[in-house]
């Protein structure tokens, strides 16, 4: 069990856990998940930590097939600037390791934005808190569990 799975169970939302053998040489974790699970990269979402205006850490959830648009994220959260967080800060704040950061069950609740494209799918896949482990759930449940908003933040 991971904090992400525990969060989904506590909330009693419908979810499915999918696991695969993580290749230690892989560095594109989301793409690896899509490939190994035989999924469209448009349905597998990566969890990224971003620093707004040089201070606040926030979570961005975007399809692995896309890149995060930092300007659009900043605009969605009424910030002037956005930059990717340092991996060490992301790990310390979430309690997860890079490549296994889940938007669910993080140590500290952070403002979260999910790319609008998630709403076009009945279910999406996000990390379940460990490399080689994904959780499938409805985008509305993901948003409810993370108190997230939807916005166009991917390019």
pLDDT at 24: 83
Task: Give dist(CA 88, CA 38) in Å, integer.
Answer: 31
Task: Give dist(CA 143, CA 75) in Å, integer.
Answer: 19
CATH of 3-151, one of 3.90.960.10, 1.20.1730.10, 3.30.1950.10, 3.40.50.2000: 3.90.960.10
b/e per residue 21-35 (b: at least 16 CB within 10 A): ebeeebeebbebbbb
Q: Is 141 exposed, middle or buried (0-12, 13-18, 19+ CB in 10 A)?
A: middle
pLDDT at 23: 84
Q: Mean per-residue pLDDT for 13-40?
A: 90
CB-side neighbour CA atoms (13 Å) of 69: 12
Residue 32, classed as helix, strand or coil, is helix
Q: Which residues pair with 107 in a beta bridge?
A: none
pLDDT at 1: 87
Q: Tens digit of pLDDT for each residue in 135-148? A: 999 999 999 999 99
Q: Tens digit of pLDDT for each residue in 93-152? A: 999 998 899 999 999 999 999 999 999 999 999 999 999 999 999 999 999 999 999 999
What are the structure tokens assigned to 32, written together? Answer: 């690896």
pLDDT at 123: 97
pLDDT at 146: 96
Query: Picking from 19-33, 63-77, 82-96, which range would have the lowest pLDDT averaged per residue?
Result: 19-33
- Average model confidence (pLDDT) across the chain: 94
């Amino acid at each position: 069990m991971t904090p992400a799975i525990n969060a989904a169970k506590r909330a009693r939302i419908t979810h499915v856990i999918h696991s695969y053998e993580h290749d230690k040489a892989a560095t594109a974790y989301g793409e690896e998940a899509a490939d190994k699970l035989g999924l469209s990269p448009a349905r597998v979402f990566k969890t990224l930590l971003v620093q707004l205006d040089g201070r606040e850490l926030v979570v961005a959830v975007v399809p692995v097939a896309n890149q995060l648009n930092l300007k659009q994220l900043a605009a969605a959260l009424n910030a002037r600037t956005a930059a990717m967080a340092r991996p060490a800060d992301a790990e310390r704040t979430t309690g997860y390791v890079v490549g296994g950061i889940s938007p669910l069950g993080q140590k500290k609740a952070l403002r979260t934005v999910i790319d609008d494209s998630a709403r076009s799918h009945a279910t999406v896949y996000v990390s379940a808190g460990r490399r080689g482990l994904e959780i499938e759930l409805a985008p509305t449940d993901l948003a409810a569990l993370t108190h997230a908003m939807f916005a166009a933040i991917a390019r």
